[in-house]
Each structure stands twice: as structure tokens, then as C-alpha cells.
Amino acid sequence: MEYIEQLKLFLATQGTEIGLAIIKGVLVLVIGLQVVRFLSRGFNKFLEKRDTDASLTPFLRSLFHNLLLVLLILSVLATLGIQMTSFVAIIGAAGLAVGLALQGTLQNFAGGVIILTIKPFKVGDYIEGGGHSGTIKEIQIFNTILATPDNVQIVIPNGKLSNDSIKNYSANDNRRVDLVFGIGYGDDIKKAKEILENMVKNDERVLSEPEPTVTVASLGDSSVNFNVRPWVNRADYWSLYWDFQERVKLEFDKNGISIPFPQRDVHIYNEK
């Protein structure tokens, strides 16, 4: 009976105040949810107008919406009269413990944000980074997925990728093909150079600008080496690279020009 009397006394003295606080909290919650929806829709329209990358939009939308919800919850708790100082301290301590436990994951998360923001590459690009090379298939918040030319899937943590140097072979429309061909010292250099220049000039894949070059690069141990450097559209790079190897060999053979290869002479002496 004593507890019941204490409860009645508490409700008589504090009941009105508690009831008003609950009503205020509910009103703040209801109105706040409407404000969150309104701001989220406005943020989505803002992203659409800015033509934000498709891989970045879902992440930004979710992050913005969740931050608004956190602020709303804190506002409701404050309206109910809950002391926020201790509450924030508890959240901070818990956040520190979680951050230490998930240090690597948070680093990958930060790396994902950096990649999605500065855009060093996009889906479909062929890159070299993080110790691997391949075509970008998907950019996630924590990982980036590559596919190698032989169709092996590689998952690279974004933290490692964002801190590494990246070669993006798809960044520019044109690429230079670097080829080296050697001829024998007894062969006609001018004739070999003329053959190479005509092959480059008559290939439709080779661009006129920048101008392709054919030069004597070095006098090697057993060959005179030519640098052949035509410029092509990115899509024609590998087709020209492989095709030229075969065609040069056939043209050299047709014109009596040799391509040296390592040889070793063995002398046998008979001791008497």
C-alpha cells in the first residue's frame, strides 16, 4: 500500500509535467519525420541536378538520411528531458571502442568515400593499382571489384587502393603503342626503316596526330633495334600491338631482312 500511495503522490505532482513532455516528444518526432522526408527528397533532387555519379548517389543519399534521423532522435530525447551530456558521453565511448575494433574497416570506408568523390577511375576502366590490374566491375563502399583479362575476379580493399598509385589505361581516348624490332648488323638499315614506316603509314588504325615515329633506338649486342611508336584509339591498342608483331616478321622475311636471336658457338678441342 505504501508503494501505491507513493505512486499516486508522484503522479499527482509530476504526472502533468511528464505527460506534456511525452506529448511534446511525440509532436517533435512526427513533425521531424516529415522534415526528414522533405530534406531527403530535396537532397536527392540536388544530386540529380549535379549529375552525381551513379555509384556515389546511393551512398550519399543514405548517409544524409541517417544523419538527419540521428539528429531527430537526439532532439526527441532532449524534449523528453533526458540529460544529453551523459548520453553523448556514452555514445562517444562506444564509438571509440567500435572504431578501434573496426579500424581496418573504417579505413576501407574512408578509402571508398575518397574514390567515389575524386573519381580516379570509373566502372569499365582498365586500371593497375593495389598490386593488381583489371577492368573495374563495381565500386563498393569497402571494396573495389576488378576482372582480369582471363576473367578472374579480384576484390581490393578501398583503403589499400586509395593509398596506392593508380594507372588508369582508360583515362584518355588515345594511346601510344611502343614496339621494338631488331635487325642484323649485316642488313640494310634504310630498307628496314622504310618498311616499318610504310607499314605504320598504311595501317588505318594509326592516327596521323600525334605523328607516329620510327627511329633507330640502340645498337645492341647482336642487333640494330628500332623503336616503332604509332598512336591509336584506345580500343585498337591490343589489336595493333599483336598484329604488328606478325606482319613485321612476314615483311622482313619477304625482303630478306633478318631478326637476330641469341646464338652460342661451341668449340671442342681434343687434347693429345
C-alpha dihedral over 53, 58, 60, 62, to 10 degrees? 180
| pLDDT given at position 40 | 85
**pLDDT at residue 111 greater than cutoff 70:** yes
Q: What is the pLDDT of residues 46-84, one digit of tens each?
A: 877 776 666 566 667 777 787 888 888 877 777 777 665
How far is residue 127's CA from residue 148's CA, in Å, rounded to a whole number? 10
Higher confidence at residue 173 or residue 67? 173
**pLDDT at residue 134 greater than cutoff 60:** yes
What residue has cell string 544529453? 84
Q: Residue 269: which pLDDT band, with cuts at 50, 70 and 90? A: confident
| pLDDT given at position 139 | 82
Q: Are 77 and 84 in contact (CB under 8 A)?
A: yes
Which segment of 5-14, 71-80, 192-201 scores lowest on mean pLDDT?
5-14
Q: How far is CA 156 from CA 20, 69, 138, 180, 231, in A?
A: 54, 32, 11, 34, 32
**pLDDT at residue 17 greater than cutoff 70:** no
254 contact partners, CB below 8 Å, separation of at least 6 = none
Q: How far is CA 136 from the centre of its chain?
A: 7
Q: Residue 101: which pLDDT band, with cuts at 50, 70 and 90? A: very low
**pLDDT at residue 1 greater than cutoff 60:** no
CA proximity to 155, closest of 145, 165, 142, 147: 145
Peptide bond into 210 cis (omega under 30): yes
What is the three-class DSSP state of 100? helix
- What are the CB-based long-range contacts (under 8 Å, 24+) for 103-108? 104/157, 104/159, 105/142, 107/157, 107/159, 108/141, 108/142, 108/143, 108/157, 108/158, 108/159
How far is residue 155's CA from residue 132's CA, in Å, rounded to a whole number? 10
**pLDDT at residue 194 greater than cutoff 90:** yes
Which segment of 137-146, 175-184, 201-210 scores lowest on mean pLDDT?
137-146
Which segment of 16-20, 34-38, 114-118, 164-168 scores lowest on mean pLDDT?
16-20
The rounded percent of the chain whose pLDDT value lies above 70 is: 79
Higher confidence at residue 63 or residue 242? 242
What residue has cell string 573504417? 106
97 contact partners, CB below 8 Å, separation of at least 6 = none
Q: Residue 118: which pLDDT band, with cuts at 50, 70 and 90? A: confident
**pLDDT at residue 261 greater than cutoff 80:** no
Q: How far is CA 199 from the centre of its chain?
A: 37
**pLDDT at residue 192 greater than cutoff 90:** yes
- Amino acid in the structure at residue 96: L
| pLDDT given at position 102 | 47
